[in-house]
Amino acid sequence: MNHAQMILSDVKVIEFGGLAPGPFAGMILADYGADVIKIERTGNMEVTSRPLLSRGKRSIVLDLKSSEGLKIAKKLCLASDVLIEPFRPGVMEKLGLGPTVLLKHNPGLIYARLTGFGQSGKYSQMAGHDINYLAMSGLLSRLGRYNENPMAPLNLMADFAGGGLMCVLGIVLALFVRSRTGNGQVIDANMVDGCAYIGSWIFQGKNTFAIWPSNERGQNLLDTGAPFYETYRTKDNKHMAVGAIEPQFYAQLLNGLGLADDEDLPGQMEMYKWPEMKEKFNQIFATKTQDEWCTIFDGTDACVTPVPTLEEAVQHSHNRDRKLFLTNEIGEAEPRPAPLMSKTPGVSSVKPTPLPGQHTQQILSNLGYSKQQISQLIKDEIVAVKLASSL
């Protein structure tokens, strides 16, 4: 196994089940060697598909509405280095599992609170999703085409970049501080703050003419305004991505399009001509298939690449050379944990994804529960085990 994945091998993590951001944060930690135990609620035992973002974790199903279930959860938290909880402010306190209680008994615990709007503020108790958090960060206002409504890029920005990934950064920094002081701390990771921070370049450059020559969405350098930073449909109804910003790269783009000697061509930064140039590029790209354009542009600095589907990306020669995608236990491709550290062997497979409750008995046994006690907990429906051996 790649050494990069073993960095966190002595770190024990408790993840309270939630939607995408929390599981993603837990999966990243598991990918790099942490022992992540995911606590799932008994009401979530209807298994209809493989749990998403759960690879490499262990799973225990608990009834958190019962005193015994909460007792087990507390034992797990007190024996751990990191806790990830995705609930609205106050929920963990009502369960008796708030940071004040747990840090008193486990002062080295890193208590990561991952929410949409944060632990304070006007919206802190409101429900929301990625699009709402992205909107409140200010970034959504800049995303989308001219004369169209703002458009969220799936749920990538808030859930995963601003939420899960920034939460992991906070956890890793807190682990570093703890290695020096021995003290844990509480992390207020939330998706509005995380999105805004990821958008630092946008905020700091909002008055920079080179980036935002227009205050209108969709008329600027990187937001589909420029013809040289856009996607184009090919003859076979596929697409090419163009990012030829620098003049020397733009020159290679024109050469590949057969426009290098066109004396009537407008200058690259003649903004008022951008719509005209975009239409010209549209017409030219439509004359060849994606493979034909790849033959022309592959290996050049024109900053032109294909736009493969998810399935095509797995098979693309560049990604295969990099071993970007690995095969999971049911034969599907998943992205390899990144970055791949140098001077270490590559990862040959991804870790398996557990079924809800698959490790319930093992985890309880590790906590000191006897077989008889575990059987009684199962009988009383305080805990649950996996419903099926496979999906």
Which residues are known catalytic residues? Answer: 129, 159
For every residue of 162-231, DSSP letters joined together read IIIIHHHHHHHHHHHHHHHH---EEEEEEHHHHHHHHTHHHHHTTT-TTT-S-SSTTSSTTTT-STTEEE
Tell me how far apart the alpha carbons of residues 243 and 228 are, in angstroms, rounded to a whole number: 6
Please name the residue that has the structure tokens 């990625």: 130
Please name the residue that has the structure tokens 């980036």: 211
DSSP code of residue 276? H
Chain mean position to CA 115: 15
Tell me how far apart the alpha carbons of residues 73 and 131 are, in angstroms, rounded to a whole number: 32
Tokens describing residue 75: 């034992």
For every residue of 281-308, DSSP letters joined together read HHHHHTTS-HHHHHHHHTTSSS-EEE--
Tokens describing residue 363: 């985890």
Q: Which amino acid is at 111?
A: Y
Q: β-strands 58-62, 35-41: how paired?
A: parallel
CA distances 152 to 204, 228, 307, Å, are 21, 22, 19
Please name the residue that has the structure tokens 């407008």: 266
* Peptide linkage before 339 cis (omega within 30 of 0): yes
CB 96 within 8 A of CB 70: yes
DSSP 3-state of 278: helix
Tell me how far apart the alpha carbons of residues 101 and 198 are, in angstroms, rounded to a whole number: 32
CA distances 277 to 21, 80, 94, 230, 264, Å, are 40, 59, 60, 11, 11
Tell me how far apart the alpha carbons of residues 167 and 223 are, in angstroms, rounded to a whole number: 27
> Which residues are bridge partners to 239 per DSSP?
233
